[in-house]
């Protein structure tokens, strides 16, 4: 929503939740950016594969999934899921694109999201430069029994093929939690 409000020509939101996408549409209407917003309801991995198959490209991709690691026993599978998601997201970036990756998994150790991003970029023969890291905002206070610095992590990263030089563009992306479904998406092969 904020990307559309601050000048993005097109914004696409993908979510499996119809109610979250309804929220996006309603907020887009209220903010006067409905014509810029497209929403896709469904599995994000399938949607990312379809977008790649359709040769879609984006300047910025924000990957902000629900917690993949809800219990300690899920750590291995969850870390693999973060790597797969971010690899698919990286495939959709334009040259000099920006990836914003987030995790709200309390069992994901601080450096492991970074490791997932670096592993995904190496698999694609891309150079990833993390330009900023962040943690949860004031609306997600840290409970006193947690010894970790926080459960919500964000990485802002520039991505380029390994054979090219890279100078990261300065940017201050802003995150949003709303997602909405655009009209006419079916014509692009999404359901």
Catalytic residues: 104
CA–CA separation, 96 vs 134, rounded Å? 21
In a 3-state reduction of DSSP, which class is residue 20?
helix
Query: How many of the other CB atoms lie within 10 Å of CB of 165?
Result: 6
Query: How many of the other CB atoms lie within 10 Å of CB of 117?
Result: 24
Q: Name residues whose C-beta falls within 8 Å of residue 19's C-beta, 6 or more positions apart in sequence.
A: none
**Residue 15 CA: distances (Å) to CA of 21, 25, 144, 154:** 7, 13, 32, 19
Tokens of 158: 């520039």
Q: Which residues pair with 129 in a beta bridge?
A: 158
Give the distance, in angstroms, between the CA of residue 150 and the centroid of all CA atoms in the same chain.
19
How far does the chain reach from its first CA to its final CA, in angstroms? Answer: 22
């Amino acid at each position: 929503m904020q990307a559309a409000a601050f000048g993005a020509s097109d914004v696409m939101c993908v979510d499996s939740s119809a109610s979250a996408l309804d929220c996006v549409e309603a907020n887009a209407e209220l903010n006067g950016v409905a014509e810029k917003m497209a929403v896709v309801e469904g599995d994000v991995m399938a949607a990312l594969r379809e977008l790649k198959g359709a040769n879609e490209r984006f300047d910025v991709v924000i990957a902000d999934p629900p917690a993949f690691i809800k219990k300690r026993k899920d750590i291995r599978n969850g870390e693999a899921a973060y790597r797969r998601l971010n690899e698919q997201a990286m495939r959709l970036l334009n040259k000099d694109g920006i990836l914003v990756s987030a995790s709200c998994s309390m069992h994901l150790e601080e450096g492991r999201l970074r490791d997932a991003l670096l592993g995904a970029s190496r698999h694609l023969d891309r150079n990833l430069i993390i330009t900023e890291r962040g943690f949860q905002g004031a609306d997600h206070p840290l409970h006193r029994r947690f010894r970790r610095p926080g459960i919500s992590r964000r990485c802002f990263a520039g991505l380029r093929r390994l054979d090219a030089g890279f100078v990261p563009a300065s940017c201050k992306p802003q995150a949003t939690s709303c997602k909405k479904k655009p009209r006419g998406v079916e014509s692009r092969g999404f359901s």
